[in-house]
Amino acid sequence: MLSNIRRIARKLWLFLANLPMERKLIVVFVFLVSLPITYVSYMSSRSTFQSVLAGSADSAGQMADSASDTIDRYVADLKRYTSLPLYNTDVQLYLEQRSTDWDKNTGMSMFLSYLNHTKDEIVAVYLADKFGSVYYDKDPGINWLYPEDRMAEWRSLTTNAGVAPVLQGRHTIRVNGGEQREVFTVLRTVSSVSTLNPIGILVFDIDIGLFKGMVDPVDAVTQGRTMIMDREGRLVYASGETAEAPEPALQAENTRLLTERISGAKGHFEITMDGEDYLAVYTVSPDTGWTTLVSIPLERILSPVAKTRNRLIITTLAIIALGLVVATVISHALTKPLKSLVRLMKQVQHGNLDVWLHPKYNDEIGMIGSHFNRMIIRVKDLLREVALTEKLKQKADMRALQNQINPHFIYNTLESIRMLAEGGDDPRVAQLTYLLGVQMRYGIVRGEETVTIRHELEHVRNYLDLLHIRFPDKFRLAVDVPEPFLPLPVIKLVLQPIVENAVFHGLEPSEGPGTICISAREEEGYAVFAIADDGIGMEEATLQALNDILRSGEDGERPDTGGERFGIGLRNVNERLRLHYGPACGLQVQSEYGQGTCVTLRIDYASGFHTGAEDEM
């Protein structure tokens, strides 16, 4: 995962880095403008959203608290009414009287009528005596009640509660035969004042329509919907309901979802119901245990926020668009001198040096333009210097060509001496003069002329014949060069300096005669020549220094001669080979002190082995 992120980031960076400078400035400028503006807009919108949401939750919470307090006071009044039989001696007497007479009926009716008229929302009041007889007073719209259907439930509820009042949540009662009414009930066991034994049950049925007057003000302020739920999470009342219009099945599912999110005495949360988002604010009554919950559609709450957000988005986009225009203008102004500089550089690249940049400002770009102008002036000066140097070199070459007349003169003089020596019967002087003349004639032509290996070997033989006159029987030459190598072209004077180095640094200091062996082989497409001697060889430090010089092409000093320069001939041959054939070619020296030295010469001419051409002398 991390490697993928790095790869994507690298691709984005390379994409940005390869953009033209003008586009880079636009991207950076817009990014620096849009990022803080977008962040501030987002934080402002979020802060406004949270503030409006918190304000709505606080307002709805206060309204829910007020409605819950009203319900608590109402239920508290009903609970107090359930204790009135304790203070009425006649009712106490009637509840313990088994028979029913006119006095009992009249007394019970008057007491129940009084209780029924204490609250307008009371549907019916029931009073059961010790022997199971039930007396009740009802709403004028109800003709018949069926308390016998509920007697067992009342006994169960009051028995579990003892002498405490019981609050029963929403339930349905049957009236007038087939009709139904939605009510909640407050009931209590009536105890004897003298014996404290239960002697009856007092029951209040209250129409749930009483909650309408409590929750309508809440809905009017919050623009939401209020629900009241009992301890078990069952719906007691929901906005818009009446006794004749009970809750739909879908409302029961929403009630379950809301109940699952309730925790604590009060609070709020967001929830989605029927595909719409709501803010739910609730409070749980510590007296009744009932929950008053207000659900407000978020769309209503956030409608003003949405308008503000839309205006903020439009403003943000306008600022970003303005930033883009400003960035385009500024980047164009900044990169225009650079574009002019690039255009002039292309002209210089094609050889036009008569260009000049006119910087308008003294910023970094203006400084680059000034330095560009100075560079053009310097280039022109260098070109003039090169032209002058070329002219001087041509003059030097002319003088060097003129100086080649001297070797011709010396060669002609040596021929005259040789003729005189032959006439005077002195063959050694004649031979020496002849060989010296041949050596000089070989070098009269300019040194870069190409010859064949056959020519080079012939030149080496003439050189050693010349040395034999001075050092008889001191040196011996062994040539082991196969015939295919002889016609190979090679630059002049590559073998003789190596042989000369072997003679004077390897064989001459040694005692007794020595041998120089020249061999050739093909190796990986190269023609490799080995010039080996059995002289005194070199020490390890001297060999290392010599090979370092041959690899680097720099001058060197023999570490054992107090600063005497060595290997000049080898270095000259090595540099000429590398210049002519490439850096892969050149010389390499192998040596062992007291055993001898071998110089390997590598030439890139393997393709010439199969030509069959041979340059005749």
pLDDT in tens, 604-613: 875 444 434 3
- Asked if 161 and 266 sit in the same domain, the reply is yes
Q: Pick the range with the lowest mean pLDDT from 38-52, 82-96, 170-184, 203-217.
A: 38-52
The token duo for 413 is: 């003089």
What is the per-residue pLDDT for 285? 93
Contacts of 611 (CB under 8 A, 6+ apart): 487
Percent of the chain whose predicted confidence (pLDDT) is above 90: 27
Taking alpha carbons only, the member of 485, 506, 524, 504 closest to residue 589 is: 506
Q: 134-143, 395-404, 452-461 — which is least confidently predicted? A: 395-404
Q: What residue type is assigned to position 564 of the chain?
A: E
User: Looking at the structure, do residues 286 and 369 belong to the same domain, yes or no?
Assistant: no
- Residue 590 maps to a domain: yes
> Is residue 186 located within the same domain as residue 286?
yes
Least Cα distance to 119 among 76, 89, 69, 87 occurs for 76
Kindly tell me the sign of the dihedral angle through the C-alpha atoms of 508, 509, 513, 515. negative
Q: Is position 221 within any domain? A: yes
Query: HEC states along 25-72?
Result: HHHHHHHHHHHHHHHHHHHHHHHHHHHHHHHHHHHHHHHHHHHHHHHH
Contact, 574 vs 586, CB < 8 A? yes
Residues 362 and 509 in one domain: no
- Kindly state the average pLDDT of the residues 195-202: 92
pLDDT score, position 611:
38
Whether residues 360 and 242 fall in one domain = no
At 282, give phi and psi (nearest 5°). -135, 160
| Dist. CA 74–CA 401, nearest whole Å | 133
Looking up residue 556, the CATH number of its domain turns out to be 3.30.565.10
Q: Is 1 helix (H, G, I), strand (E, B) or coil?
A: coil
Backbone angles phi, psi at 600, to 5 degrees: -100, 130
Q: How many domains does the structure of the chain reveal?
A: 3
DSSP code, position 289: -
Residue 330: pLDDT band by 50, 70, 90 thresholds? confident
| Element holding 81 (H helix, E strand) | helix 21-81
Same domain, yes or no: 362 and 293 = no
Query: Could you tell me what percent of the chain has a pLDDT over 70?
Result: 84
User: pLDDT: is 493 or 425 the higher one?
Assistant: 493
Burial (Cβ within 10 Å: 0-12, 13-18, ≥19) of residue 456: buried
What backbone torsions phi and psi does residue 199 show, to the nearest 5 degrees? -125, 0
Contact 252, 236 (CB under 8 A): no
Residue 251 confidence (pLDDT) above 70: no
Sequence-ordered strand ranges (E) for 119-159: 122-128, 134-138
CATH code of 102's domain: 3.30.450.20
Q: pLDDT: is 172 or 606 the higher one?
A: 172
Smallest Cα–Cα separation from 278: which of 357, 239, 224, 349?
A: 224
* Residue 28 CB partners (closer than 8 Å, separation 6+): none
Output the pLDDT for position 420: 57
Judge whether 576 and 491 are in contact, CB under 8 Å.
yes
Tens of pLDDT, residues 3-52: 888 888 888 778 777 777 777 777 777 777 777 878 887 787 778 777 88
Q: Rounded mean pLDDT of 237-260?
A: 67
Collect all residues with Cβ–Cβ distance below 8 Å to 383 and sequence separation of at least 6.
353
- Given a cut of 60, whether residue 451 has pLDDT beyond it is yes
Residue at 134 is within a domain: yes
Exposure string over 395-414, b if 16+ CB within 10 A, otherwise e: eeeeeeeeeeeeeeeebeeb
Q: Which 3 state secondary structure label does DSSP give 106?
A: helix
Is the model's pLDDT at 395 over the cut of 70?
Answer: no
Last residue of a domain, one of 299, 317, 342: 299
**Angstrom distance (rounded) from CA 461 to CA 487:** 17
- Per residue in 341-379, pLDDT (tens digit) is 788 888 888 888 888 877 777 777 778 878 888 888 888
Query: Is 487 in the same domain as 572?
Result: yes
DSSP class of residue 504 equals: I
- Same domain? For 252 and 112 the reply is yes
Asked if residue 456 belongs to a domain, the reply is no
Q: What is the predicted pLDDT for the residue at 553?
A: 64
Instruction: Determine, yes or no, domain membership for 494.
Output: yes
Containing structural domain, residue 98: 66-299
**pLDDT for 34:** 75
Placement of tokens 């093909």 in the chain:
522
Across the range 427-452, mean pLDDT stands at 66
Assess whether pLDDT exceeds 90 at residue 2.
no
Tell me the C-alpha distance between 81 and 98, whole Å: 25
268 and 360, same domain (yes or no): no
pLDDT of residue 608: 46
- What is the model's pLDDT at position 606? 53
Strands 514-523 and 475-480, by their bridges, are: parallel
Residue 62 sits at the vertex; the CA angle it makes with 59 and 63, to the nearest 5 degrees, is 90
User: What CA–CA distance (Å, rounded) separates 20 from 403?
Assistant: 60
Residues 296-304: what's their mean pLDDT?
80
Are 367 and 291 contained in the same domain? Answer: no
The 10 Å CB-count burial string (b at 16+, else e) for 257-289 is ebbeebeeeeebeebebeeeebbbbbbbbeebe
Residue 452 placed within a domain: no
Q: 520-550 pLDDT, tens per residue? A: 999 888 999 999 999 999 999 999 999 988 8
Provide, for the chain, the percentages of residues in helix, strand and coil under a 3-state DSSP scheme, each rounded to the nearest 5.
55, 20, 25
Domain end point (choices 403, 427, 444): 403
Same domain, 85 and 211: yes
Compute the distance between CA of residue 486 and CA of residue 613 in angstroms, rounded to an integer: 9
Nearest one of 492, 510, 490, 395 to 447, comparing CA atoms: 492
Q: Tell whether 40 is covered by a domain.
A: no
As a whole number of angstroms, the distance between CA 525 and CA 71 comes to: 109
In a domain, residue 511? The reply is: yes
Regarding whether 286 and 173 lie in a shared domain, the answer is yes
Q: Check residue 238 and report its DSSP letter.
A: E
Closest to 90 (Cα-Cα) out of 65, 75, 109, 63: 109
Query: Residue range 554-579: average pLDDT?
Result: 63
Boundary (domain end) residue, out of 403, 422, 444: 403
